[in-house]
Amino acid sequence: MENGAVYNETTEPQAKLPRRPFGCTLRHLRGWRLPTKAVQTILSLLAVICEEIVEDCIKCGGLYFFEFTSCSAFLLSLLILCVYCTNAYETFGEEKVQRV
C-alpha cells in the first residue's frame, strides 16, 4: 500500500483572495460619498475643458485664477478617488490618509 492511500491531507488549501482589477474597492467610499466625489471630479474636469475653450480675454486674471482652481479641484478629487478606491488606503494606513 502506498502512503497516499492511508494518509489524507489534514490541512485545507488556503483560500485565494478575490482578485480585483487595479485593486479597486468601494469599501471606503460608501453611500452618498462615492457618487458625490465622482460628480465633483466630472464637474471639475468639465470646468477645465470649458476654460481651455476660451481663446481671447480682455482681463485674464480671473480666468487664470479659475483655471488654477478648477485644475486643482480636478487633480485633488481624482487623487482622493484613487486613494479611497484602491489598495492605497490599506498601504498608507488610515491614520496617514486622515492626516493628509
Per DSSP, 75 falls in state H
Provide the pLDDT confidence category of residue 5 given band limits of 50, 70 and 90: low
Residue with the bigger pLDDT between 50 and 24: it is 50
Instruction: Please give the model's pTM, rounded to 2 decimal places.
Output: 0.67
Q: Which long-range contacts (CB under 8 A, 24 or more apart) does 85-91 make?
A: 85/24, 85/25, 85/26, 85/28, 85/29, 85/34, 86/22, 86/23, 86/24, 86/25, 87/23, 87/25, 88/23, 89/28
Task: Name the DSSP letter for residue 9.
Answer: P
The 10s digit of each residue's pLDDT in 27-84 is: 777 788 888 888 999 999 999 999 889 888 888 899 999 999 999 999 999 988 888 8
CA torsion sign for 23, 28, 29, 30 is positive
Q: Which three three-digit cell numbers place residue 88?
A: 492605497
Which of residues 18 and 59 earns the better pLDDT score?
59
